[in-house]
Amino acid sequence: MDKDLKSMDREALAEEVLRLRRAVRSHRDEKGHDRCWLDDQTLYGVLPENKPADFDLPARDEFLANCEKYWLCRQSHGEKTG
Contact between 23 and 15 under an 8 Å Cβ cutoff? The reply is no
Angle at 28 (CA atoms; ends 27, 30), nearest 5 degrees: 70
Average pLDDT, the chain: 85
**Cα(60)–Cα(28) distance, integer angstroms:** 27
Which pLDDT score, from 0 to 100, does residue 79 have? Answer: 59
Mean pLDDT for 69-80 is: 77
Neighbours of 13 (CB within 10 A): 11
Instruction: Please check the confidence at residue 61 and state whether its pLDDT lies above 90.
Output: yes
3-state secondary structure of 57: coil
Reported confidence tier of residue 78, pLDDT bands at 50, 70, 90: low
Amino acid at 3: K
